[in-house]
Amino acid sequence: MDPKRPHSRRSAEIIAGNDDLLTELILLHLPATSLLRFKSVSKHWQTLISAPSFVRQHTTHRGGGNSPPSFIFRSNSHKFFYFNPATKSLRRQKFYHRYRHTRILQSTNGLMLLECRKSKYGQKHYAVYNPTTRWSRTLIDAKRKNKAAISGVCLVFDPSRSPHYKIVCVRSGKNWEYSNPTIDIYDSQSGTWNYRLHFTPIKIKFSSGIYRNDCIYWIRPTSRSYYYNLQTEVEDKMINNLPRIKTPWRRNGETNKNYVMESNGHAHILCTYMGPEFKSMFVYELSEDNSGWYDKYRVDLGPISSVLAEKNDPVELVGIVRGEREGDSSVLLHSPGRIIRYTFSDGSFEVLVDFRNRSEIYKE
Amino acid sequence: MAAETGTPTTLTLKSNDDELFSVAESAAILSVTIRNMVEDGCAGGVIPLDNVDGKTLASVITYMNGISAIPADEEKKKSYRDKFLSDKDFETLADMVLAANYLNMSCLMDAVSAKIAQVMEKKSVGWVRRKFGIENDYTPEEEAAVKEEHKWTFEGVETDDDN
Q: Which of B132, B160, B163 to mutate to test the interface with A (most CBs of A within 10 A)?
A: B132
Smallest CA–CA separation between A61 and chain B, in Å? Answer: 12
Which residues of B lie inside 8 Å of A (Cβ-Cβ)?
A: 16-17, 53, 90-91, 94-95, 97-98, 101, 109, 112-114, 116-117, 120-123, 125, 128-129, 131-138, 142-143, 146-147, 150, 152-154, 157
Could you report the predicted ipTM of this complex, rounded to two decimals? 0.90
Q: At what angle do helices B74-86 and B54-68 cross, to 10 degrees?
A: 150
- Quote the pLDDT of residue A219: 87
Is B153 within 8 Å of A36 when comparing Cβ atoms? yes
Is A41 within 8 Å of B136 when comparing Cβ atoms? yes
CATH of B3-120, one of 3.40.50.150, 1.10.10.10, 3.30.710.10, 3.40.50.360: 3.30.710.10
Query: Residue A201: helix, strand or coil by DSSP?
Result: coil
Of A6, A13, A30, the CB nearest to B120: A30
A87/B contact by beta carbon, under 8 A: no
A44/B contact by beta carbon, under 8 A: yes
Is B137 within 8 Å of A12 when comparing Cβ atoms? no
Q: Mind listing the pLDDT tens digit of every residue in chain A (364 residues)?
A: 334 334 457 999 999 999 999 999 999 999 888 999 999 999 999 999 999 889 888 877 765 444 556 777 776 666 777 787 777 777 777 777 777 788 888 888 888 888 888 887 877 888 898 887 878 888 876 555 556 677 788 898 887 777 789 988 887 765 555 567 778 888 888 888 887 766 666 666 777 888 888 888 888 888 888 888 887 766 666 778 888 887 777 777 778 888 888 888 888 889 888 888 888 899 999 988 888 888 888 888 888 888 888 877 888 888 888 877 767 788 888 888 888 889 888 888 888 888 776 554 544 3
Is A26 within 8 Å of B125 when comparing Cβ atoms? no
Of B98, B114, B123, the CB nearest to A15: B98
d(CA A205, CA A172): 9
> Could you tell me which chain B residue has the CA closest to the CA of A7?
B53
Neighbouring CB atoms inside 10 A of A345's CB total: 12
Q: For the segment B89-148, what is each residue's pLDDT rounded down to a tens digit?
A: 999 999 999 999 999 999 999 999 999 999 999 999 999 999 999 999 999 999 999 998
* Residue A179 half-sphere exposure toward CB, CA atoms < 13 A: 18
Is B135 within 8 Å of A30 when comparing Cβ atoms? no
Is A31 within 8 Å of B121 when comparing Cβ atoms? yes
Strand order in the sheet with A192-197: A150-156, A166-171, A182-187, A192-197
d(CA B29, CA A6): 27
User: Which amino acid would we find at residue A60?
Assistant: T
A46/B contact by beta carbon, under 8 A: yes
Contact at 8 Å (CB) between A110 and A128? no
Is A38 within 8 Å of B114 when comparing Cβ atoms? no
To the nearest 10°, the Cα dihedral for A7, A13, A16, A17?
-50
> Which residues in chain A are closer than 8 Å to B97, comparing Cβ atoms?
11, 15, 25
A–B: how many Cβ contacts below 8 A?
97
- Quote the pLDDT of residue A5: 39
Q: Which of B128, B141, B147 to mutate to test the interface with A (most CBs of A within 10 A)?
A: B128
To the nearest 10°, the Cα dihedral for B154, B156, B160, B162?
-140
| A33: enclosing H helix or E strand | helix A32-38
Query: Residue B156: helix, strand or coil by DSSP?
Result: coil
Contact at 8 Å (CB) between A90 and A361? yes
Smallest CA–CA separation between A109 and chain B, in Å? Answer: 20
d(CA A261, CA A212): 11
Contact at 8 Å (CB) between A114 and A155? no
Nearest in space to B90 (alpha carbons), one of B54, B117, B62, B108: B117
Report if pTM > 0.90.
no
- Quote the pLDDT of residue B147: 92
A47/B contact by beta carbon, under 8 A: no
Angle of CA points A177, A181, A182, to nearest 5°: 150
Is B91 within 8 Å of A31 when comparing Cβ atoms? no
- Quote the pLDDT of residue A41: 96
Asked if pLDDT for residue B162 goes beyond 80, the answer is no
Comparing A266 with B8, the larger pLDDT belongs to A266
Is B125 within 8 Å of A41 when comparing Cβ atoms? yes
- The residue extents of the domains of chain B are 3-120, 125-154
Compute φ and ψ for B148, nearest 5 degrees: -60, -35
> Which residues in chain B are closer than 8 Å to A5, comparing Cβ atoms?
none
Neighbouring CB atoms inside 10 A of A337's CB total: 18
Asked if pLDDT for residue B64 goes beyond 90, the answer is yes
Portion 122-161 of A in contact with B at CB < 8 A: 134
CATH of A96-242, one of 2.40.128, 1.20.58, 2.40.10, 1.20.1740: 2.40.128
Beta-bridge mates of residue A104 = A114
Is A12 within 8 Å of B90 when comparing Cβ atoms? yes
CATH 2.40.128 in chain A: give the residue spans: 96-242
> Which residues in chain A are closer than 8 Å to B109, comparing Cβ atoms?
25
Q: Are strands A330-335 and A316-321 parallel, antiparallel or unpaired?
A: antiparallel
Per DSSP, A202 falls in state B
Is B134 within 8 Å of A45 when comparing Cβ atoms? yes
Q: Which of B97, B106, B138, B157 to mutate to test the interface with A (most CBs of A within 10 A)?
A: B97
- Quote the pLDDT of residue B90: 95
